[in-house]
Amino acid sequence: MIVTDWIHSIAGFFIIVGLALGFDCGGNPIFVHQYFLFLPLFVGLNLFQFGFSKFCPLGIILKKLGVPETRKGGGSCCGK
């Protein structure tokens, strides 16, 4: 996986977790508090601002951890 794959996966995970913990539909067994809805809001705002500024803190962290920016091989999904 490359940096953009990790960013999309982690952002999606945080959005799902934030909604699950913050949305009270009456019978939600994992509801904690409505303030958890700020988590997907923060992730969404960060993705939105990335579209204009191309600045992503998670991308910087992943690059420093050694995650590759491009796929190796011919660029196909199979690596052939």
Per-residue pLDDT tens digits for 42-56: 999 999 999 999 999
pLDDT of residue 50: 95
Residue spans of the chain under pLDDT 70: 74-80
- pTM here is 0.81
pLDDT of residue 23: 87
The full DSSP string for 1-60 is: --HHHHHHHHHHHHHHHHHHHH---SS-TT---GGGGHHHHHHHHHHHHHHHH---HHHH
Instruction: Tell me if 36 sits within 8 A of 22, measured CB to CB.
Output: yes
pLDDT of residue 17: 94
Residue type, 26: G
